[in-house]
Chain A
């Protein structure tokens, strides 16, 4: 594969995916600045193997790299204090949506990185249990167990709020 063709294809993928990948990383970390770093690192690593991964759907592969990067950081730092999320530069009419994002990202922080990734892949990225198993390289039964336990943990945090809203 010629370099020019490789870079053109890779550029198309970058343009199509970089916001979505950042949002995915933001959901996992709660930190948009770190999410941008993680997304860029994922693109850099994907480029090394672009010749082989381009034939499959590279989107799940990119998400797997992001999850693995977060897990590696987590192992190194064990419990890493996530940087407090400052108010993003949002227009006042976006305040409610931003509030939603802060509430959810705070709730997700109670989960371990792998369980958080499982929940986000299932309910945000809308992947099936089998697809999550492939992305995270974990047995389907483990994915099911993580989903069950992750939901139980989130329910404790989120359900009172849901009740209040209802």
Chain B
């Protein structure tokens, strides 16, 4: 019998023998109800603040597709890229995560590009996503502590710009409070007065998995000086057609590194290994890494994580 099979049998026997207690349903429900009352009150207060800000600004955050909802000013200066202003980018991303967190699916939908909406399929589907996975995954960043935004531009022209906004902070997700980061693709439309829209497609054609530094390892992502950043870019189809373009961004656009690409395989599935050397100019200490892949169709896929650059 193999060691794995032996372990499986041992664990099954151990699990069956593990003592269990009766957890009181009444006590559990009582605690759950109290927690929910607090949670619902907090949501209501946040929605009231946002609504007041929208009314004060003379526009409706709730329904207008044009509604730019910067309840708070953007925390970083408004840069521009190739003559295109990025001033609306971070406020739009912020408004989008707040709308998701509050369950205002229509407001979030209205902040997305036509293409992103088409990738989702329908508003009904998006509404379902907002009440399920998006609330926990993206909405949690609306309530992050110590939140900061970093914008990385991957393409720009006279007609607009495209890139990702990385949101980092201490978030409460699924029972854990921990530092986390998420990358949200955006587009800026120059012909609509540099209007920014969310370009998150949710289509899953490509997945971006960091290899080094590994994501969320115990005790943080320690990374040696002079090490090589690596990521697997995985096509959902299992077959790599045209290679995507991949860049590594450290702390927004402070350092942008074009990746070397190599076709590899994971079992029978094809994937792309992207890598780049982290330059010595990056100081030791905590940093934010955003890995951005742009496929042949111009769709953006990204992943963000914290890491600690070691002195040696």
Contact = CB atoms under 8 A, between A and B. Distances in A.
B20 A32 contact: yes
B308 interface: no
B176 A100 contact: no
B139 to A, nearest CB: 10
Interface string B107-150: 00000000000000000000010011001100000000000000
A23 B135 contact: no
B28 A55 contact: no
A124 B15 contact: yes
B215 A139 contact: yes
A8 to B, nearest CB: 11
Interface size classification for chain A: 35 or more
B297 interface: no
Contacts of B4: 123, 151
B35 A89 contact: no
Contacts of A90: 19
Nearest to A15: B25
Contacts of A7: 29
B218 A113 contact: yes
A152 to B, nearest CB: 10
A101 B232 contact: no
Interface string A22-36: 111011000011011
B45 interface: no
B242 interface: no
Interface in A136-161: 137-142, 145, 151, 154-155, 158-159
A83 interface: no
Interface string B13-56: 11111111101010111011101100100000000000000000
B192 interface: no
A141 B209 contact: yes
B28 A14 contact: yes
B205 to A, nearest CB: 17
Contact of A22 (B23, B217, B219): B23
A-B complex: 5 closest residue pairs judged by Cβ atoms: A68-B176, A65-B175, A47-B32, A97-B17, A88-B19
Given A51-B131, A69-B175, 5 more contacts: A10-B29, A22-B20, A104-B13, A124-B12, A158-B10
